[in-house]
Chain A
């Protein structure tokens, strides 16, 4: 080393620096230019539609042919939902940006935006399109672990009233007033009156189904081991995931609870589902499952426990039945 003259040493260093910089820049450029979306966009015919996310892009498919043509928009969301002419989107967390809620009308014009902190997890719009409810992970990323914390918020898009966290609400647990710092809420679903809602509340190692009153700012527990409730369009049943043996580490099963009779019907899906199911109609629920290589697929299964799961939309998640009939996206 000492034998080399200073000039040669500097020259070698500069050349090496240039070469290495070239390698780094080329690699970075290749990573950026790798096309993120493999599926192209093609127009969807008339009839009822289904909104999904294709590799994080808001898309629509035909209900009649969900595996067929797909209209893919430029809008990127981590979770999306639509109902009553309102489209809601939780923006993905980027390297330089946090998430946020975007509320759009049926033709995807932005109506309002709300910056949020955390990682998008659940998102629902009430059937009238008025109430938007979301869940974000604040700590951790999975319901299967114990160290996570979530924050569920609600926005009344008509009045602009915002509840940043359901933890502000007054809690009644098993008929008694309750307070605890460890309370977490997730998976909100609204009833047709745009005031009452159902959600999951965890505290003290238990996970409860709660019924909430948005105007009165209260929630009360109904029963145990019900997570991510989703109310049927007729308002009589709740599709939900329940932890196997009440232990989330063992995974979840999809079931349907009849609110009048309290009867539970396990659905035909036997794989573990970590999603808030979406009702396609009063007889069918849809949900996303992730394969081991990270691909999302949307499946559907009859809501009465019969039949078998069916691959509804390959390569898609966040399903929501869309009332929008005309093309125009």
Chain B
């Protein structure tokens, strides 16, 4: 017991010292922002499907299309950040936009279109900030430590995602079950994150790139790589957290109040595994870890239609789903960081993330329709089959590239 504890603390101290102050500052911003974001995300599917009477198909459209609608903005954000070489400013605008969207949820009341608009603004902010932030991480980290740096950043990110739903439960309990205080608290937390970004994250160092290096023609060259189609392919087989949790909630007939805890469980696994898997990826190869991570999705989908039920099903699905995130999210960006030229880092990352988001939008809508037409069981089986087909294709594409 003593030995294993000692071992773990040393393991945790290692990567933290090895990553720079920028990564730690960005990790803190992400941690606080994720507390804010997950506070809302944890109750949003429930709020829409149950509270506001949206059918599964309508939820799929909201969840998918609004994510997809931010794609263009994401690309613009990455490109502008590269072009003016101000990654921090662009990221800051994104964080700020998402913060004020939380106030918008408060103002939108029960109006479906308004809520859609506010969610769009929130996702737009996320789209705007993600690529410049990830570019900041790669620009402040030596190549051979990229996996580790993203591991630390995503761990901190996941700690926030883990704390967010717990905070939501606390606010719900304190506020007598009203949604309003959750949105208000989420806004306050998000504002704090913006402040930390402004005060503690330095702008990317390094020489201003030659303007001609950052052109749409250069971006078009990026798009011809194999990273983008691979990311899109995998986005197509990801049905999204909301659907995974909704199916799980139905299978287990979980009390509504436990719903946010599903996201907490996933985040817990994610935060425990993100840093170790990041280091593992630096050592044995990022592609291997990335592909294995995606394979766990097949397990998730099969379990959702499997004979297992009750708490064992919840624990297994969340463990696999958290592993999927830990082994893919940061590691894909580390892969991208090692493949993309520095002057187009943010744009390239935005391109990859946009491709993923766009295909995720399509898969979300499709899964919503499949659920409504065939029920959850067959819909999950189809998703599992699609993943099993997409995986070898992705491995082939990425193996050629790296």
Contacts and interface: CB of A to CB of B under 8 A. Distances in A.
Contacts of A142: 53
Of the candidates A1, A28, A140, the one having the most CB atoms from chain B within 10 angstroms of its own CB is A28
B192 interface: yes
Contacts of B255: 96-98, 117
Given A32-B176, A141-B50, A94 B257 contact: yes
A75 interface: no
Nearest to A138: B250
A96 B202 contact: no
Interface in B42-56: 49-53, 55-56
A25 B56 CA distance: 34
B256 interface: yes
B185 interface: yes
B20 interface: no
A16 B55 contact: no
A28 B171 contact: yes
B184 A24 contact: yes
A29 B56 CA distance: 34
20 contacts: A12-B195, A12-B199, A16-B195, A20-B189, A24-B185, A28-B181, A28-B184, A29-B175, A31-B178, A31-B180, A95-B172, A97-B256, A97-B257, A98-B257, A139-B55, A140-B53, A141-B50, A141-B52, A141-B53, A146-B55
Given A98-B257, A141-B53, A23 B375 contact: no
A9 B257 contact: no
Given A4-B199, A23-B184, A31 B192 contact: no
B56 A32 contact: no
Interface residues of B, number: 39
A95 to B, nearest CB: 4
A38 interface: no
A21 B173 CA distance: 16
Q: Which 10 A-B pairs have the closest CB atoms?
A: A147-B55, A96-B257, A95-B172, A28-B181, A141-B53, A20-B188, A98-B255, A24-B185, A28-B175, A24-B188
Contacts, number: 100
Nearest to A92: B177
B253 interface: yes
A146 B56 CA distance: 11
B211 to A, nearest CB: 25
A159 interface: no
A93 interface: yes
Interface of B: 49-53, 55-58, 169, 171-178, 180-181, 184-185, 188-189, 191-192, 195-196, 198-200, 202, 250, 253, 255-257, 372, 375
B83 to A, nearest CB: 22
A28 B185 CA distance: 8
A174 to B, nearest CB: 25
A314 to B, nearest CB: 22
A13 B195 contact: yes
Interface in A1-30: 1-2, 4, 9, 12-13, 16-17, 20-21, 23-25, 27-29
A27 B50 contact: no
A23 B176 CA distance: 17
B177 A95 contact: yes
Nearest to B187: A24
B200 A9 contact: yes
Contacts of B56: 139, 147
A32 B174 contact: yes
A197 interface: no
Contacts of A20: 188-189, 191-192
A9 B196 CA distance: 9
A231 B348 CA distance: 68
Contacts of B195: 12-13, 16
A25 B173 CA distance: 12
Contacts of A12: 195, 199
Of the candidates B172, B177, B180, B196, the one having the most CB atoms from chain A within 10 angstroms of its own CB is B177
A186 interface: no
Given A95-B173, A146-B55, 4 more contacts: A20-B188, A24-B184, A28-B181, A95-B257
B181 A31 contact: yes
Contact of A95 (B169, B188, B191): B169
A145 interface: yes
A256 B202 CA distance: 74
A61 to B, nearest CB: 26
Interface string A82-125: 00000000000111111000000000000000000101000000
Contacts of A2: 202
Given A28-B181, A95-B177, A145 B53 contact: yes
Given A97-B257, A145-B55, A28 B174 contact: yes
A181 interface: yes
A119 B250 CA distance: 13
Nearest to A16: B195
Contacts of A13: 192, 195-196, 199-200
A139 B185 CA distance: 29
Contacts of A141: 50-53
A95 B178 CA distance: 9
A36 B175 CA distance: 12
Contacts of A9: 199-200
Contacts of A94: 177, 257
Contacts of B199: 1, 4, 9, 12-13
A93 B256 contact: yes
Given A13-B196, A94-B257, A147-B57, A21 B188 contact: yes
A16 B184 CA distance: 15
A32 B196 contact: no
